[in-house]
Amino acid sequence: MKSFVFLISIALSNAVFAQSLEEVRESFHQAVLDPDQSRAFHDFLKDTQPSTPTLKAYKAASEAMLARVVWNPFTKLSQVMKYSDLIETAIHEDVENIEIRFLRLSIEYNLPKFLGMSKNLEEDRDVIVNNLSNVNAMDVDPSFCRYIIYFLNDTGLCTDDEIVLMENALAATDGTSGNE
């Protein structure tokens, strides 16, 4: 009986985690679409102690995104440094996670180049291209993967062949045509 209760509590905690990760993803998406939502995204995560590398990566992203809306240059730099420390921890804990790699890639792509903090673009792109076929094992929503592919294509960070490769890998995992 104790084993049963333990298994139920694990299942429930996983359900709560999945729901909260979905909420974090949605809040991130809103902040990407509307920079005025960056502060709300940061506030949503600032007092959390992330329990997974993915949540740490989103908390890191919230630090970088807050830098978009603060006016003081020293505060901006401080936010970016907080982002850098957190994202490196998240990546160290889950090296092949494409969601974490995408968060770092998209933030670094948008950072001013003079900061010298955009050195991982190629590495992150390679990890994403090579691991997109594992999305089911990573619990990454296929629609988010389509967004990753769109971003990589739109920014020119991937070749046409890499885009086709990722679309086909995604189609094989979610049962849709890769050329939608």
Q: Whole-angstrom Cα distance, residue 172 to residue 51?
A: 31
Q: What is the pLDDT of residues 42-74, one digit of tens each?
A: 999 988 899 999 999 999 999 999 999 999 999
The answer to whether residue 127 is domain-embedded is yes
Best CA proximity match to 45, nearest among 56, 35, 34: 56
Number of separate domains in the chain = 2
Same domain, 4 and 83: yes
Measured between alpha carbons, how far is residue 20 from residues 13, 31, 79 in Å?
10, 16, 24
Q: Whole-angstrom Cα distance, residue 152 to residue 161?
A: 12
The answer to whether residue 106 is domain-embedded is no
**DSSP states of 102-160:** HHHHHHHHHS-GGG---TTHHHHHHHHHHHGGGHHHHT--HHHHHHHHHHHHHHT-S-H
Asked if 142 contacts 173 with a C-beta cutoff of 8 angstroms, the reply is yes
Asked if 96 contacts 69 with a C-beta cutoff of 8 angstroms, the reply is no
Q: What is the pLDDT of residues 84-115, one digit of tens each?
A: 999 999 999 999 999 999 999 999 999 998 88
Same domain, 133 and 178: yes
Last residue of a domain, one of 51, 79, 94: 94
Same domain, 70 and 159: no
The answer to whether residue 130 is domain-embedded is yes
The answer to whether residue 3 is domain-embedded is yes
Best CA proximity match to 38, nearest among 16, 12, 65: 65
The answer to whether residue 105 is domain-embedded is no
Range of the domain at 34: 1-94
Last residue of a domain, one of 94, 127, 158: 94
The answer to whether residue 22 is domain-embedded is yes
Same domain, 22 and 86: yes
More confident residue, 159 or 3: 159
Residue 15: pLDDT over 80 = no
- How large is the average pLDDT for residues 18-38? 88
Residue 133: pLDDT over 80 = no
- What is this structure's pTM? 0.83
Q: Whole-angstrom Cα distance, residue 69 to residue 150?
A: 25
- Residue 132, pLDDT score: 85
Q: Is 4 exposed, middle or buried (0-12, 13-18, 19+ CB in 10 A)?
A: exposed
